[in-house]
Structure 1
Amino acid sequence: MTAPEWMKPASYGAVLGAIALAVIGFTAGGWMTAKAADEMASAKARSEVLAALVPICVVQSEQDPQMQETMANMKAARTYERDDMLMKAGWATMPGSAEPNRAVASACMDRLAKTF
């Protein structure tokens, strides 16, 4: 059985149209793969959790009787040492946790740095 003559250009058009649709959809149309969507959702969740934990760190720093001394030491320290100092002070250790959280310490230090 032979295909009609018009079938060949229609087949090429359908294939090229499908490719164009996929390219446009993934670049300008906002489509994404499941992996990319999972990565974006995980990043957003981490960001939101961090935003919720930073105020706890700030309150813990305000309740520390040695806050002024610790803040003065942090101000005198190098920038890369400050997160470790904040973690040693215990401000980045969240209630119910035994270990300080480095991401919370870094974000908290950014917030506290605005005060000194």
Structure 2
Amino acid sequence: MTEELASVRYLVDDVRAAIGFYTAHFGFAVRTDAAPAFADVVRGPLRLLLSGPASSGARATPAGSLAAGRNRIHLVVDDLDAEITRLRAAGVPFVSDLVSGPGGRQVLVEDPAGNLVEVFQPA
């Protein structure tokens, strides 16, 4: 294994919209842009594979999978309150209220295709 990035594939309806969402709201950088089929964006050691309907990754997903909507990427921030304010002002859709637990606080937002992003501030 020569690559030192962790890769996660998200199926998206619109690759361009997904690129815009992750670069504008979460500081990802575009690594590959083969829209409308595919793109990958990077933030630190995370490589997010954005697979459109025409990509091979999208065709390999079994119909009716129970995993849809349960998995998410987890992005750590220093000031969750400031991030919530910034994301709300930008019109990013929230799918949860602020949740606090022993490990920290979190909120879930949704990308343009409905994939979840957990924005988390450690305790």
TM over 0.5: no
Give the number of the structure whose residues are more often helix, by fraction.
1
- TM-score tier by shorter-chain length is under 0.3
TM-score normalized by the length of structure 2? 0.23
Q: Higher strand proportion, which one?
A: 2
Scaled by the length of structure 1, the TM-score of the pair is 0.24
